[in-house]
């Protein structure tokens, strides 16, 4: 057997060990990049395959998964609970983060991360996608746990919960982080993303002038959390920003929920379309032209 054939066999066996979702991601990546691979040259094909397998493996990690509201990158969420399992998970995340940082004992500066997924209201089950929850602050007492979280990197869940896992046990799940954004895919959505800019200004005016803010300077607080508005030349980032702005935490209650749609989308155009539909329907609701409820 040639060296190239042996290497291909090893790679295929490695892919076969992936979960069905992971194998799909590899194959989708190969199909999407067929033009970049000279299939007539075995070494070029193997190099392309190795790169994609390596990229997928580098994006894999394990996170405890908590079912909360669908959350987008940079959104802030504060929650407090008496749930013992949640408190133990927060402690476990801090200990693991400290160990990964190379410290010998628990350091309060290392609070760790876990995964947040939302609930599919049609099925009642958890969505197989979400974001990292970066623990900004944590206060753990004997019977309560209060945390402030920030949405981080997007991911898909590769494993479902083991029904035999004892209740309350911290059980990390295998997840795969979203890949780097594709330049060509992003470029195809720039013109559509430009339509979001005037809609954002119109929506802001309707919210503020209509007295829909739930607390003083509500939108200003949300913008502080989300950071500067991305330009249309970064359509995915802009769409995620708009989705988080229209469905903020704390909630405004003036727009349809689009965060789960944005997380499920696989292309920049799909994300921009979701953001456009969400903010346009909210504007129609606020100006009275088409009430949502």
Averaged pLDDT, 244-260: 95
Averaged pLDDT, 166-171: 59
Q: Which pLDDT belongs to residue 249?
A: 86
Q: Which pLDDT belongs to residue 142?
A: 84
**Percent share of the chain, pLDDT over 90:** 62
Which one is predicted more confidently, 163 or 193?
193
The segment with the largest mean pLDDT, out of 45-49, 100-104, 159-163, 251-255, is: 251-255
In sign, the C-alpha dihedral spanning 223, 228, 232, 234 is negative
**What pLDDT digit, counting tens, does each position of 186-211 carry?**
999 999 999 999 999 999 999 999 99
Q: Which pLDDT belongs to residue 100?
A: 84
Is omega for the bond preceding 278 within 30 degrees of 0, making it cis?
A: no
CA distance 79 to 86: 11
Residue 1 has pLDDT above 60, yes or no: no
63: β partners: 173
Q: Which domains does the chain have, with CATH numbers?
A: 3-58 (no CATH), 62-177 (2.30.130.40), 183-286 (no CATH)
CA distance 263 to 3: 41
Q: Which pLDDT belongs to residue 15?
A: 44
Which one is predicted more confidently, 127 or 100?
127
The segment with the largest mean pLDDT, out of 35-44, 72-81, 103-112, 159-168, is: 72-81
Reported confidence tier of residue 185, pLDDT bands at 50, 70, 90 = very high
**What pLDDT digit, counting tens, does each position of 7-61 carry?**
444 444 554 555 566 555 555 555 555 555 555 566 665 666 666 666 667 889 9
Distances (CA, A) of 180 to 42, 59, 154, 183, 185: 26, 10, 11, 9, 11
Q: Which pLDDT belongs to residue 190?
A: 98
Pick from 279, 209, 214, 212: nearest CA to 244: 279
Q: Which pLDDT belongs to residue 59?
A: 87
Antiparallel, parallel or unpaired: β 65-67 and 113-119: parallel
Q: Which pLDDT belongs to residue 108?
A: 56
Instruction: Read off the pTM.
Output: 0.80
Reported confidence tier of residue 102, pLDDT bands at 50, 70, 90 = confident
CA distance 71 to 250: 12
Residue 109 has pLDDT above 70, yes or no: no
Q: What's the chain's average pLDDT?
A: 84
Q: What are the φ and ψ backbone dihedral angles of 281, each rounded to 5 degrees? A: -70, -35
Q: Which pLDDT belongs to residue 206?
A: 98
Q: Which pLDDT belongs to residue 75?
A: 98
């Amino acid at each position: 057997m040639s060296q190239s054939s042996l290497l291909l066999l090893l790679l295929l066996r490695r892919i076969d060990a992936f979960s069905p979702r992971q194998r799909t991601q590899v194959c989708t990546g190969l199909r999407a990049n067929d033009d970049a691979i000279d299939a007539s040259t075995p070494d070029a094909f193997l190099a392309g395959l190795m790169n994609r397998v390596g990229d997928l493996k580098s994006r894999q990690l394990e996170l405890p998964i908590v079912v909360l509201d669908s959350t987008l990158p940079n959104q802030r969420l504060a929650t407090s609970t008496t749930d013992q399992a949640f408190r133990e998970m927060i402690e476990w995340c801090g200990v693991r983060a400290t160990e990964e940082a190379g410290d010998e004992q628990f350091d309060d500066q290392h609070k760790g991360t876990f995964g947040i997924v939302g609930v599919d209201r049609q099925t009642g089950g958890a969505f197989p996608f979400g974001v990292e929850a970066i623990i900004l602050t944590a206060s753990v007492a004997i019977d309560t746990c209060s945390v402030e979280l920030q949405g981080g990197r997007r991911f898909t869940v590769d494993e479902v919960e083991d029904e035999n896992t004892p209740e309350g046990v911290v059980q990390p799940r295998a997840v795969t982080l979203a890949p780097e954004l594709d330049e060509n895919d992003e470029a195809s959505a720039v013109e559509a993303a430009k339509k979001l800019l005037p809609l954002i200004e119109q929506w802001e005016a309707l919210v503020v002038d209509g007295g829909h803010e739930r607390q003083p300077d509500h939108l200003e607080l949300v913008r502080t959390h989300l950071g500067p508005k991305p330009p249309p030349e970064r359509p995915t980032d802009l769409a995620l920003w708009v989705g988080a702005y229209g469905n903020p935490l704390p909630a405004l209650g003036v727009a349809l929920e689009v965060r789960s749609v944005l997380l499920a989308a696989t292309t920049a155009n799909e994300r921009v379309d979701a953001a456009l539909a969400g903010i346009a329907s909210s504007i129609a609701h606020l100006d009275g032209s088409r009430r949502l409820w």
